[in-house]
Each structure stands twice: as C-alpha cells, then as structure tokens.
Structure 1
Amino acid sequence: MSLGSRRVLFLITGLGRGGAESQVVLLAKGLKARGWQVEVVSMIPPDSEGPKGELASSDIPVHSLSMLRGKPSLRGVWRLARLVREFRPQVLHAHMIHANLLARVVRFLVPIPVVVCTAHSTVEIGRSFGTERSTHLVYRLTDFLCDLTTQVSREGYDRFLKGKAVRPDRLRFVPNAVDIQRFAPNPHAGLRLREELGIERDTFLWLAVGRLEESKDYPTLFKAFSRVLTEYPRAQLLVAGHGALEKELRQMVGSLGLQTSVRFLGLRKDVPDLMKAADAFVMSSAWEGMPMVLLEAHATGLPIVATDVGGNREVVQDGLTGYLVPSKDAGALASAMLKIMTLPKDERIAMGLRGREWVEERFSLKAVLDQWESIYTELMAKKVKP
C-alpha cells in the first residue's frame, strides 16, 4: 500500500437526519475537497429526505446494504465485503455502534489496511445488547479487529476507559465538527423566515431541534415552557424534527394549553435559517453524546439552555455562553430560560457570540478535518511495507 493512495469508505448504520449522519456528510465532503476518494455505505436504506442527495450532489457515491434495522444479515456482511473489494479503501471509518461492529467483522472476509470506529453516544447501548456493560463487553471482545476507536465527547471517552471497552492505546477523543460558514449569524435571513412563519419581530423565539424521541425529553421542555409563559405570554417555541412520539407530544401540548405558543415544524431542511431566526436555543435531552445541534446553535451566535448530560458541557460554557441545568427538572430549565430572556438584548447577543468564538476555536470543520487526516496518515503509515 502506498501513502499516495487516499481512499476512505464511511460506514454508518443509517443515513437519516441526525447528528452522526450530519457528521459523516461533513467529513465526507470535506475530505473529498482535500483530494480523498470518498464513498459512503448505509447499513439500512437511506431515508428519502436524508442527506443522500447532498452527498450525491458532491459526487460522493452512496451505497446501501439493504439491511433491516435491528436484524443481523449475512447478506449485508457479504455486500459490504464486495464493496470493500471493489473500492479498495485504505481506511474504513465506521460510525455508530452497529456499523462499528460490522466494520470489525467484515475484516474476517476481506483485507482492510485501517479500520476506525467512532462512537457517537456517551452511553453506548446497542439495540441488541440491552445494557451499557454488555455493549462494552462486545466492543472489548472485538477490539483486536479495530485499529482505533474514537469518542466524540470526553465523557464518552472516560466511560469507555472505565468500562474497559477499548484498550487505552486504541482510544482517542475526536470531537464533532461544525461548518462555521454555513451557520454564521445572519439577522436578515432570520427576519425573512420570521415573516414567512408569521412571527413578529418583538416576539421572543425559542428553538428546539431534534428527533421526537424519548432521549430528547420534550415533556420536560413543554412543562418548563408553560412556566415561562406565565411571565412572557407572547413567547414562542419552535420544535423542528419528527419521530415516533409526535402524536403523544402534540396531545401533551394541547393538554397544557400551549397550542398557540408551541409549533411543531416537522423535518426541516432549513435549520440554519431557523437558528438565524431564533433568539435562543433550548435542549432538554435526558442523554446525549456530542450534539451537533448545539455546535450549530452556538456557531449561529445563539445563547443556549441545555441539560447537563453527555458532551453538552463541552459545548455550553455555563454562565458564559448559556446555562446548563439538571436533566428531568422542568423548574430548573424554566428558570434558566427566563434568565436569558431577562438579559438586556446586547448582553444576550454577546453571550451568543462568545459561544460562536468557542465553537470556532475548538470545533471548526478545518480543525477536525486536520485531526482526521493526521490520524488516517499515522495509521496508514504503520501498514506501509518497507
């Protein structure tokens, strides 16, 4: 193998609209722009409204193993082996637990110089394994098939070490990246979107973005927002995302009498503009990894209120760029939201801009791509025959 050959194959469980998926798109497009040959493989069929089209528009081939969610498939393993033989990547870089394990297993069928596995959750629990301890055991038993495992949050890194999921010399922390230019503040774009949505300029607008699933704990957010409305009755909350709990959450909003104050926007492709239209961002998650959406919100110059879970404290500087509160505590969440709302406008804007500076310094796409290229080159060099 020659170091002049630069081909990377990304493998991910699915290509929907989530943080891990967004990260793969960013890395794939960024590496292609730097001269790498890049292809992407999704274990399950990509979502019709997911990022497949964005990759295709950048001339990055996307393949599907046509596997069913949560069901092992020998045919899927063979399909991946065939794709590896055809593309001959120097690096197979997997994202999310099931893809991480598949990348290791396929090494029994086809030679791959370098296999890298990235975990995107602080608490890794595979659908088939039931507990974090069991998941760590599976990682540990297959660790010899992987050259390097990375975690996107420091807390996740520490949990992997404590659970002995990976040998210390095979584990690194590499954060998620954010496209600073795409999420740059733009008040004019924000005002245009407010007009489209019928939101007045002086309405304080909160934004929440994320799947309507248990992990995001929207019930706590809605309870907190009902308290916020007692002091700011004209405030609005936009919720962008879809998921299995949508019907249940809509019913809750109705039972709390929030129908005119909370708007479900569904799956949106204009999240950057939504962020530019908002005054502040809120996240009520019960658990997280390193949330892309928080990086994007800070990059847009928004102050953030978020629960102190996962890698959130690595993004939000409590008291400087926003506020962190305990999870499952509607009262604390409401109090923090009110703190931001009562700040003078110039102080609130300054808080958001400090967040952008923090993200630009540590999580810019350029900085993270530099890290990945260095890691790939380092691992590839070890496989070069003298």
Structure 2
Amino acid sequence: MENRILFIANDAGLYGANQSLINIISSLKEKNVFVTVVFPIKGAICDVFDEKGWDYHIVYFRTELCARPSGVIELSINILRNYKKKYINANALNALFDIVEVNKINIIHSNSSVVSIGVDLAKKMVIQHVWHLREHIHPNFDMYVYGGLEKYKRKIQKNKNIICITKSVAHGFGVDKTAFVLLDAVRKMPKFKEPVQKDKYFLFCGSIVKNKGIEEAIEAFYEISINYPNYKFLVVGEGAPDYETYLKERVKGLGMEKKIEFLGFRKDVDNLMANATAFLMCSRNEALGRVTVEAMINFCLVIGYNDSGTAEIVEDGKTGLLYKSKEELVKHMGYSIANYPALEIILNNAYKFALNNFLEEKFSTDLNNYYNNLD
C-alpha cells in the first residue's frame, strides 16, 4: 500500500521546524508520495505552500507549551489553560478526522516534540503515528509543558515510532535506544561552488533570543575588534522587540554602533555566508542548527559552541572550530582572520560533509525506508 502522509506542524512561521518541513515535503513529492499538512493558524509558511501549489489545511489546535509557572497563581492559571487546551484540541480532532478520511491517510507525522494531538488522532483512526522530535524542551529556553517535562517525556517514550534530528535530542528525551536518528534535509544538491575571497565581517544568523548566545558573540567581537578594527559583525534575524532594543543599547554602550549591524530578516543569507570570515554559532543546547549546515554548504567557516547538536555536526579542526569559553571564541575569531589560506581544507571538508548528510535526496530515501518499515 502506498503511503499517504498527514504532517502536523506546531506553528505557521518560517523558522526551524517549518524550514525543515518545506525540505521534507519537497523531498517526498520528488518521490510522488502523497502529503498534506495541517497548520494551527495561517502564517508565512502558507504563502510558500501557495506558491508551490502544495496542499494544506488550517485547523486551530494548541501545542503542549505553556507559560513559565513562576508561582502558585501562575501554576493555577496553567491548570485552567490546560483544560482549555484539551477542549480546543477535542474540537480540532473532529476536523482532523475528516481530513484523514477524505485523503485516505495511513501515517500521521507530528513535526515537533511540542505537538501531541497527532497521537490522539492516530489512536482514534487506528493508523500509524510518527513523532519527530526537533527541540530541546528546557527551562533555559523558557520552554515549559503542561504537567511538567518529566511527565511529558514519559508520554513520548511510550511511542514506538520516534525520529530525532540528532543523538543529543534523543538523549534529552530518554529515547536513545528506541529513536531513529535522521539528520534534517537542508536543501537540494547545490551547483558546485568554491570558496570565495572573504570580506571583513563575522556573521550571526538566527532568532534574536538570549539562549542563542548573541550576547557572548557581541562581547567576543568587541574584544577582537581591538586588534582588528576594520572588521564588522553582521546580525541576521529577528526577535522580541524588547530584547533587540536591549542589545542595540548594549552595542551603543560599547561604542560599536558602526561595527555591529542588525540586518533583520534577509533573503540573501547564502551570499552573506559565502563572503563572511566566519559564522558564529553560539547557541547552548542547540538541537541541530540548520544555519550551521547552510554555512558549511556556502564554504563559510563555522565557529560553534562545543555542545549538543553543534558538536555532532562540527568536528573541531576538521569541519569547523569549537569553543567552550568566550576567550576560546575570541582566539578562534582571530585565527580565522590571520590564517584564512590554512582554513580552506576545513571549508572543503565541511562542504563535503554537508552534501553527504543533509541533502533532500538522501533524506527522502531514508524517510521513505522508515515509513515502509513501520509495524
């Protein structure tokens, strides 16, 4: 029997899991697999689907994420919110039942660890469910789930079909022995490129949030700029307005307004990466880091924090440089400026590694094989 897949997305933005979702859908359609997607609201990713002519549905439901329980009052409010979430999701299931029946779906694929409605849907319809774990859920990220993380982990552990994007994520959810680790598809096979002469700037790309390590990157650049005053630091991405304002004030306080530029959302990230001296991945507990792989594909040196998914992707001295302290980060930044010719070996190694592990073509084959072997 041919597989007919319903993906359930956790939001409708164009970051993280949904960027990967676009690659997944593209790769499966190349193999003529029927795919449709449910989003909880209409958002930016729907415009992409509209442009491509891909099928999707809007069904309002709630994820398992909740507000920080800062006290007894907030905890009580979360309990009420949980009841409301259950009511909303119970109503959403009726619409999802119809989508499954009309499209003759035989596999539900939940595209995030914070989406659990797919479990209930698959159970009711007596069909297979695949849970794709992509995030580290941790208080350091201001991520909380109803009922507490340990209880939620036990719920996930009861599922027999689990995909994790890295070993680090599998370990975080306690499913090391049962999960299938499948590295994300990042793009199709690119046209062959070569390293280009680098411009005098370092690059940060991603959500402008505290746990991404942007403050450490700013501090490190401030120190490196003392010896290399002609260099700049470009920050690509968006975040909460209050936090961006705080960062810009901090940059102003350092007297670095002309050297540290906040570019917001950009469509020319590939070019920015290709010409950067190095890409800084300063996030702690990064689940995988699509932008790390994109930097590799663009022959951009990755200087990454030695932890979690980043440490699985970057091999220190071979496909990038890893650090554990701000002092080590500054040292690597200086090295990337002074030793560019010697780094071409690392850039080529990283490019080959990315092509061997993160292309849609390989991903679709591995995912289809996984689908075909579900019990």
TM-score category (smaller protein):
0.7 to 0.9
1:117 to 131, 138, 142: 131
Cross-structure match for 1:135: 152
Spell out, residue by residue over 1:193-247, the C-alpha distance to the aligned partner (whole angstroms, 9 max, x if none): xxxxxxxx87412111100112212111111110110111111111111111222
1:60 to 42, 54, 64: 54
Alignment coverage as a number of residue pairs:
348
| Kept after mapping to 2: 8 A contact 1:117/1:150 | yes
Spell out, residue by residue over 1:309-346, the C-alpha distance to the aligned partner (whole angstroms, 9 max, x if none): 221012111012221112xx322221121121111x33
**Any residues of structure 2 matched to 1:194-213 within 5 Å, and which?**
203-213=199-209
Cross-structure match for 1:338: 334
Which blocks of at least 5 consecutive residues in structure 2 are unaligned? Answer: 66-80
* TM-superposed deviation, 1:299: 1.1
1:350 to 342, 345, 362: 345
1:312 to 310, 313, 318: 310
2:94 is the counterpart of 1:86: no
2:13 is the counterpart of 1:16: yes
Matched residues, percent identical? 20
Q: In structure 1, what is the Cα distance between the partners aligned to 2:275 and 2:233?
A: 12
| Kept after mapping to 2: 8 A contact 1:118/1:149 | yes
| Kept after mapping to 2: 8 A contact 1:184/1:301 | no
1:252/1:81 CA distance change after superposition, 3 Å: farther
* TM-superposed deviation, 1:363: 2.3
Which blocks of at least 5 consecutive residues in structure 1 are unaligned? Answer: 191-200
Spell out, residue by residue over 1:231-272, the C-alpha distance to the aligned partner (whole angstroms, 9 max, x if none): 111111111111112222222211222211111111223322
| Kept after mapping to 2: 8 A contact 1:215/1:288 | no
Cross-structure match for 1:177: 185
Matched residue type, 1:66: Y
2:28 to 27, 31, 35: 31
1:237 aligned counterpart, secondary structure: strand
1:51 aligned counterpart, secondary structure: helix
* TM-superposed deviation, 1:186: 6.7
Q: In structure 2, what is the Cα distance between the partners aligned to 1:376 and 1:232?
A: 52
* TM-superposed deviation, 1:124: 5.9
2:233 to 226, 230, 237: 237
Cross-structure match for 1:194: none
1:157 to 170, 189, 194: 170
Q: In structure 2, what is the Cα distance between the partners aligned to 1:267 and 1:130?
A: 35
With structure 2 as the length reference, what TM-score do the two structures score? 0.85
2:288 aligned counterpart, secondary structure: coil
| Kept after mapping to 1: 8 A contact 2:170/2:176 | no
| Kept after mapping to 2: 8 A contact 1:65/1:79 | yes
Q: In structure 2, what is the Cα distance between the partners aligned to 1:246 and 1:103?
A: 35
2:370 is the counterpart of 1:375: yes
Matched residue type, 1:128: V
Q: In structure 2, what is the Cα distance between the partners aligned to 1:264 and 1:316?
A: 26
| Kept after mapping to 2: 8 A contact 1:180/1:299 | no
* TM-superposed deviation, 1:174: 1.0
1:184/1:246 CA distance change after superposition, 3 Å: farther
